[in-house]
Chain A
Amino acid sequence: MNRRLAEANGSKIDEAVSTGMQVIKEYSPDDDRLMTLSVGPQHPGSGHFRFTIKVDGDYIVYCDPDPGYVHRGEEKMCEYRNFIQNIPHLERPVIHDSANITYSYSLAVEQLVGIEVPRRGQFIRALTSELDRQVYTLYWLAIYGIFLGHSTMFMWPTGDRELFIDLLDALTGARVTHAFNIPGGVRNDIPEGFKQKALRHIAYYEKRLEEYEDIFYNNPLLRQRTEGVGILTREDAIKLGVTGSVLRASAVPFDVRKAEPYDIYNEIDFKVQYMRTGDCFARAYVPFLDMKESCHIMRQLLDKMPSSGEVRAKLQPNPKGPAGEAYRRVESGRGALGYYIVSDGTPRPYRVKMSVGSFRNMLALPHLLVGAKLADMPSIYWALNYWPVEADR
């Protein structure tokens, strides 16, 4: 494994996917040779998302993403509810990574209103964030497996996710969409025996991660299908503004937890995992490395948590702060999730803008698909860590 990884590193970084651009220049979009396929919402390989592709034989020459099937007007809804009432509906864009999407919102609101979160609350918040990161990444990995036809890799992560969903269920009361983070901290304290249970689950899970590596990442068929496919060079990654694991797979070691540490992340010791090749295999492998790193982080959080204390700051009803604006971001499963909140002195935000990782990564989809083979379409598409519901908000 390490030997092959060393060979792949640094060898193809400057190879641009250029064949596609030559092909598209030869044909007009209405050419008879091209077949238009709608990889639409009614497709086992697309999720709640539609993109139209034109195919010449086996090569894709044109791609146009068409999101909006799950657009619910989250940002508009925020303007009609106060800061606390916004939490339940803001979780819905990513139901199983809900701790991260409300974490960023809570940080921004705390900055606006001027709340200090107690230390134990900060630790629990970070712990929930890491647990949800695992839950989301495992689900993403499961769907990546089934897109490539690997049914075992669909069942195993979905089953192992239950370990963390169990923990979250015990902690927050809900399996997904926990509504646990609020501005000011978390709602409740952790239950008895949680730490032992969590350590047990994490130990079992780390053994399972080794098996994933055996059956999936070291599988020669998978390597053949994903290595060298859909290469995103470092310059393109920065120019397109992608984020998260897609960025880290293209040799940019950027992680919001290290670049701009929030809460207690500056006390936690962890490394930013990244790879240099920028192909689909790197984009599939970086989340796996992130998961391993996340296990270390969770162990440190459980160790360093203060043994007692408040978990939530006491707030007045309808908290409000002076007029102003704030932009805070956290590292979610998809990448940097930022909230821009404008407040006008009332209990309701004036404007909330969510800058989500999926929406930013969507820009890489036409860039990578043009010139790729049709058979690589699911692997390129899902490797961009795109969650359709979150991109639509």
Chain B
Amino acid sequence: MGQDSDKASKTTNGKLDKTNNVNQAQPPARPPSAPSPVTKPAPTTTSAVTKKEAEPPALEKGIIDTLVKEFGNKINAVYARPLRIKIVVEPKDISAVAIFLRDSMGFDHAESVAGTDYPKDNQIEVIYHLGSYGTRELEGHIMALTTRTSRDEARLPSLINVFRSVEYHERETYEMLGVYFEGHPRNERFLLPEDWADIPPLRREFRIKGR
């Protein structure tokens, strides 16, 4: 198992590039500090009317204000729609923010951990969707806690000591994208076969013929 992780981290350094063509998809232009230009309707209805980004609703605005008050400019709120909030933090601050969200704001578990590869920015974005089972007002809310790391040297602190439920999700992100989570007890392959000796599959480093 140790060898697997070594091999995977070698490939993330870009030394073994399988093909020359990077996938031509356009990642959304989203540097961490700019607010999102997205104008989307509220998630509870599926209205086709695209309106300008409305004022964030009161509860979400309150959450963002509390976070900004606590952490200052380390928090970048990307959007705050009804029931969905997305914030971006630096990798070094993510543990502190997560602990604050868990203890003071009431988000008690992580529903999912997703990694997205943005080769255009040369970054990998890891997004933690946090939910709340215990707090009544936050029942339907999902807080998307995001951080970005470089594609070449993808290391992030693990949130396993904050939210126990990220254990298998982070392990899967490790094997699928090559992001090493420091502090996670087992950065090993999970869903892939035992004899997988190739690049992490969800990276956009190859093109599939005919598609």
Q: B25 at interface (Cβ–Cβ under 8 A)?
A: yes
Q: A187 at interface (Cβ–Cβ under 8 A)?
A: no
In angstroms, Cα B165 to Cα A265, docked, is 28
Contact assessment for A110 and B46 in the assembled complex, using a CB-CB cutoff below 8 Å: yes
In angstroms, Cα B113 to Cα A355, docked, is 8
Contact assessment for A261 and B40 in the assembled complex, using a CB-CB cutoff below 8 Å: no
Q: B191 at interface (Cβ–Cβ under 8 A)?
A: yes
Q: A116-B47, A323-B38, A327-B84 are in contact. Are A254 and B133 (CB under 8 A)?
A: yes
Q: A322 at interface (Cβ–Cβ under 8 A)?
A: yes
Contact assessment for B168 and A363 in the assembled complex, using a CB-CB cutoff below 8 Å: yes
User: Residue B164 contacts which of A240, A243, A329 (CB distance < 8 angstroms)?
Assistant: A240
List of B residues within 8 angstroms of A75 by Cβ:
202
Query: Could you say which of B5-13, B66-74, B134-142 contacts chain A?
Result: B134-142
Q: How big is the B interface, by class?
A: 35 or more
- Identity of the chain A residue whose Cβ is nearest the Cβ of B175 in the assembled complex: A68
Q: A111-B46, A327-B142, A351-B114 are in contact. Are A340 and B127 (CB under 8 A)?
A: yes
Task: State the Cβ distance, B160 to closest chain A Cβ, in Å.
Answer: 11
Contact assessment for B116 and A351 in the assembled complex, using a CB-CB cutoff below 8 Å: yes
Number of residues of chain A lying within 8 A (CB) of chain B: 59
Contact assessment for A355 and B129 in the assembled complex, using a CB-CB cutoff below 8 Å: yes
Q: B154 at interface (Cβ–Cβ under 8 A)?
A: no
Task: State the Cβ distance, A72 to closest chain B Cβ, in Å.
Answer: 10
List of B residues within 8 angstroms of A107 by Cβ:
46
Q: B19 at interface (Cβ–Cβ under 8 A)?
A: no
- Identity of the chain B residue whose Cβ is nearest the Cβ of A366 in the assembled complex: B167
Contact assessment for A68 and B112 in the assembled complex, using a CB-CB cutoff below 8 Å: no
Task: State the Cβ distance, A186 to closest chain B Cβ, in Å.
Answer: 14
Interface residues, chain B, with chain A CB atoms under 8 Å away? 23, 25-29, 36, 38-41, 43-44, 46-48, 50, 83-84, 108-112, 114, 116-117, 127, 129, 133-134, 139-140, 142, 144, 163-165, 167-169, 190-193, 201-202, 208, 211
**Additional A-B contacts beyond A241-B164, A393-B191 (10; CB < 8 A):** A76-B202, A111-B43, A116-B46, A241-B163, A252-B134, A260-B139, A343-B28, A344-B27, A350-B28, A355-B114
Interface residues, chain A, with chain B CB atoms under 8 Å away? 67-68, 71, 73, 75-76, 79-81, 107, 110-112, 114-117, 237-241, 243, 247, 252, 254, 256, 259-263, 322-329, 336, 338, 340, 342-346, 348, 350-351, 353, 355, 359-360, 362-363, 392-393
